[in-house]
Structure 1
């Protein structure tokens, strides 16, 4: 079920956001450029990450899904064979394959605005442009870009339950409150 607040304008990562994401990931946040999408519960859920981390490592995953509840729900989709079905459709549906390639191009264009990292030139995320390898990456891109940009990400979002309905993406204890 798609969230009502989709897409959103990227927002500066605050100290509270960094603490919440660190709690969500179980490690310090790295290379965050912006909160690309905030969950309806109020917590950051997709972080727009710099293409080069502070330690100098190239990082191709521009849209990093941090919400553990969404990630868990996406894992269930992956475990249920959704990626296999999407890959079969990509192999036979020329329109879907063309949309998926355009999504790859969009991803690369968005990352290029953050910086040029030759080591990851042409590399997007989630298996693009030819397959679906990671729904987490495609959903992160779809939430950041908005409907109609990442067809497989959009489709996965439509399949997800309302993960934000019953509690925050980072519990009070995890968020240090």
Structure 2
């Protein structure tokens, strides 16, 4: 990655960028803001551009970086929560309509950052027909607040307080894992 690619976008500090990169264990691409901070103070969700610096279309506007958060969400995925929420979307008209609104919200917020024809109409995480990735719906819910992405809200409601034991803000993502 060149220095040009690593230019710090307005809205994310060098310290936040460095911490998010430590959390992920790799360079962060296209991040423009910390969309949600972990209660311990560090970045937990970053907002990314819809086109990465190398030109790649990137539909995931809200990207979870906190290793404690992503680990807790992964546990819920392994317990079948994606299937449960997808079944609810398929069988509950009101819930499905709310998820379609979450999809539209996601698209509108990404559209604020620029149009990318290759991903026009495509949000992320399986929206609006299923839950393909709990990390995406939870990151969206954290970034925009409750009531916008109901499957994301339900995912967050089922999470433990991931930040209380071995907070991620103390250093590298794998310190206590």
- 3-state DSSP class of the match of 2:153? helix
1:129 paired residue number: 128
Give 1:76-95 correspondences, 5 Å limit: 76-95=75-94
The CA deviation string for residues 102-126 of structure 1, in whole angstroms up to 9 with x for no partner, is 0000000000000000010011011
1:42 paired residue number: 41
What is the alpha-carbon distance in structure 2 between the residues aligned to residue 39 and residue 95 of structure 1?
Answer: 31
The TM-score, its normalising length taken from structure 2, stands at 0.90
Give 1:61-100 correspondences, 5 Å limit: 61-100=60-99
| Alignment length (residue pairs) | 165
Over aligned residues, Cα RMSD in angstroms?
A: 1.4
What is the alpha-carbon distance in structure 2 between the residues aligned to residue 62 and residue 87 of structure 1?
Answer: 21
The CA deviation string for residues 4-40 of structure 1, in whole angstroms up to 9 with x for no partner, is xxxxxxx821111011000011111110111000000
**Larger relative CO (CA 8 A, sep 6+): 1 or 2?**
1
What is the alpha-carbon distance in structure 2 between the residues aligned to residue 91 and residue 173 of structure 1?
Answer: 40
What is the alpha-carbon distance in structure 1 between the residues aligned to residue 151 and residue 33 of structure 2?
Answer: 23
Q: Is the 8 A contact 1:42 1:168 kept in 2?
A: no
- Structure 1: which 5+ runs fail to align? 1-10
C-alpha deviation, 1:174, in angstroms: 5.5
* Mean Cα deviation higher: 99-108 or 162-171: 162-171
2:157 paired residue number: 158
1:12 paired residue number: 11
What is the alpha-carbon distance in structure 2 between the residues aligned to residue 126 and residue 173 of structure 1?
Answer: 27
Q: Is the 8 A contact 1:41 1:167 kept in 2?
A: no
**Stretches of 4+ moved more than 2 A in 1?**
170-175
1:7 paired residue number: none
Give 1:108-123 correspondences, 5 Å limit: 108-123=107-122
Q: Is the 8 A contact 2:47 2:62 kept in 1?
A: yes
